[in-house]
Structure 1
Amino acid sequence: MATSYWTRMCVNCGHGRLVLQHDVTYRRVYAHCEDCEMGWLRAAEQADPDKGFLTLLGDFGFVDASFEEIAQSEWVDHVCGSFDK
């Protein structure tokens, strides 16, 4: 069973959690709303709906970020919880 980590509820839709993903193309961690598919590249901008982007339009591959990947990113201090998939 895989563990996913999230930072907050989405400011765009108000329903989904911002789940941390590992962009395998550009090797970065970003937050991805599990409901509306919006994403944020910077932890400091995740509360600003105008700073997000529609992840469906992105040209990159991604997987759930491991805690080790998160620990090496700017998102480490923003993890609010985790859940098993």
Structure 2
Amino acid sequence: MIYLDKPGGQTICVCDRCGLTNATDTANGVVVEGWMTGQLWLDISLAEQRQTPLCFCPACAPTMHAATRIQISASASLG
């Protein structure tokens, strides 16, 4: 997760894999050097998609880089 702490003047990075937290000195949306970022797209329905920013610390980034695309689908059996 990446978010801006404007009162504190920082960009906060929380690793979505291990929970490690780090911050930059400015609230500009640029993550800490060495951290990997990405986007998770969730298809809620054919008419709605949601996008979530992801962030991984340097220790978790190599593992998550190998899984650059994950597709999850669900279907109901009509029978």
TM-score, normalising length from structure 1? Answer: 0.29
Structure having the higher helix fraction is: 1
TM-score, normalising length from structure 2? Answer: 0.31
Give the number of the structure with larger relative contact order, counting CA–CA contacts within 8 Å between residues 6 or more apart: 1
The structure having more radius of gyration, on CA atoms, is 2
